[in-house]
Amino acid sequence: MGGNSLLNILIQTVKSKMTGFVTKFRMYTSWSFIKTRVVVKIREFFSNLLGFKPRNKEDYYAVGRWMISKRLVYAAVLIVGVVSIWYISTETSLFRHFDEDGIKTYDYNSLRLRVAKGRVRIKGKSGYRAYDGDVEDGYATGVGTLYNPAGNVVYTGNFLQNKYEGEGELNFNDGSLMYRGGFHENRFEGTGVLYRENGTKEYEGGFLRGMKNGNGTLYDSGENELYTGSFSSDNIVYSEMLGKNAEEVSQCYKGAKDLYMTDDESVVYMSGIGAIYHGVSDNEALDDEEKVSEVYVLSDHFNYADEAVESISDIRDILGSPVYEGYSNIILPEAIAIDILNSKAEVFKGVKDLDTTEVFSDVATVESFDRDYEVYIYTFQRGEVMYSFVCPDQTGYFKFYYISQNNESAA
């Protein structure tokens, strides 16, 4: 027992002597202590270096008429060296870590990204994967995929200097497909397919500057063909229906129709494209077949190039002075257009209801309409086509317009 007690006393004595040493060793070898000491030493070094006051000419470098402190030059060289070492250690491929799939990864504002070439991965400001694909001179150029912060694909396809260029696919925010086809400077151009958010096809055909242009086909919500023909600035070129017979029009428009008839004329409402065409018999033709004489567009906006205008003053700026302006009693297609518009909202007040007799669910004969009702019309001429804008009054805002052939020009 005495021996054990003596041994314990010896062990406790050694521990007490070593405690201070161990504590100091742990402190001196801790990363925080080392970092603090290094920073202090660097700070003292630069303070002493920059705080030195030159005393004679040997302490200066002569650069032309200027005298530059040698200590200042040494400090500048050291600072550049430290910054270079830090840059190399954090940016170069020698020290950088790669993702699991071996792709070089850069932050969006990385300096080295400006000279990167080949396939890379770029992280957005909040650290999400923003781009995965080819780069050149700091630009997305080649094939790649762009992501939004939610992780959904925004675009996949060809890039040129950070812009969509060539073939690609653009998606809605949730990642569902919006468009597949050609691009030029981030906009739809060439041939492509446009989709609705529910995944159904909306349009297939030509595009220019991000809008439907050239030949194409519209589809309804069930992906049935609705209209095939020419488009300009996202709109149907309605004037190409002029002069066609009913069979020819049916090859263009395949949607639902409502036919209104009298003894010598007919009017067809194409609800799928919001337009009406008026057919009259050509007495000089051998077949005496009805041809489209006017197309009525049931819209209070007129689309021209990239603009959609709604006032007559704006129309004047586009089409010039009207060739006709004044009040006029309505005719059959105008009466039907007014009846359709008034069924949704009363835009033409005081007009009597259209009197029709239903023959079939989509065919009716017109018994009478309010022939005494007056509208105010502005008619403009553009080449071989006449544009007539129908207004409730002279306030200068139209509710629909129609397109007709300039008979004098045709003659």
pLDDT at residue 307 tops 90: no
pLDDT at 94 over 50: no
pLDDT more than 70, % of the chain: 75
Tokens representing 87 are: 């840059």
Return the pLDDT at 190: 98
pLDDT digits (tens, 9 = 90+) for 44-69: 766 665 555 656 666 666 666 666 66
Structure tokens that stand for 6 in this block: 């003596």
Domain residue spans in the chain?
45-96, 104-232, 254-410
Report the range out of 77-86, 98-107, 111-120, 267-276 with the highest average pLDDT.
Answer: 267-276
Using the predicted structure, report yes or no on whether residue 373 has a pLDDT greater than 90.
yes
- pLDDT for 95 equals 43
Q: Residue with structure tokens 């906009």?
A: 187
Evaluate if residue 287 carries a pLDDT over 60: no
pLDDT of residue 79: 73
214 phi-psi bin (left φ>0, alpha ψ -120 to 50, beta other): left
Region 12-38 average pLDDT: 68
Sign, CA dihedral 63-66-67-72, equals: negative
Residues in contact with 139: Cβ distance below 8 Å, sequence separation at least 6, in sequence order: 159, 160, 161, 162
pLDDT higher for 84 or 161?
A: 161
14-18, 151-155, 263-267, 296-300: which range is least confident on average? 14-18
H or E stretch covering 337: helix 332-342
Which of 266, 258, 243, 226 is closest to 343 using CA atoms? 258
pLDDT score of 90 more than 80: no
- Is residue 93's pLDDT more than 60? no
User: 74-80, long-range: CB within 8 Å, 24+ apart, which pairs?
Assistant: 74/49, 75/46, 75/49, 75/50, 78/46, 78/49
Beta carbons of 267 and 332 less than 8 angstroms apart: yes
Residue 81 in this model has a pLDDT that exceeds 50 = yes
Mean pLDDT of the 393-406 span: 94
Q: Rounded to an integer, what distance in angstroms lies between the CA atom of residue 192 and that of residue 180?
A: 6
Which residues are CB-neighbours of 352 under 8 A, at least 6 positions away? 369, 370, 373
Residue 100's pLDDT band (boundaries 50, 70, 90)? very low
Residues in contact with 39: Cβ distance below 8 Å, sequence separation at least 6, in sequence order: none
Burial 136-156 (b: 16+ CB within 10 A, else e): eebbbbbebbbbbeeeebbbb
- State both tokens at 44: 């003292």
According to the model, what pLDDT value does residue 37 have?
74
pLDDT over 70 (residue 16): no
Residue 406 is predicted with a pLDDT of 82
- C-beta neighbour count of 110 within 10 angstroms: 16
pLDDT of residue 74 exceeding 70: no
CATH code for the part of the protein at 104-232: 2.20.110
**pLDDT band of 97, cuts 50, 70, 90:** very low
Of 56-60, 190-194, 245-249, where does the model show the most confidence?
190-194
Note the pTM of the prediction, 2 decimals: 0.75
Task: Calculate helix-pair angle for 31-51, 70-91, nearest 10 degrees.
Answer: 150
Report the Cα 369 to chain-centroid distance in Å: 46
Judged against a pLDDT cut of 70, whether residue 313 lies above it is answered with yes
- What span, in angstroms and rounded, lies between the C-alpha atoms of 264 and 357? 16
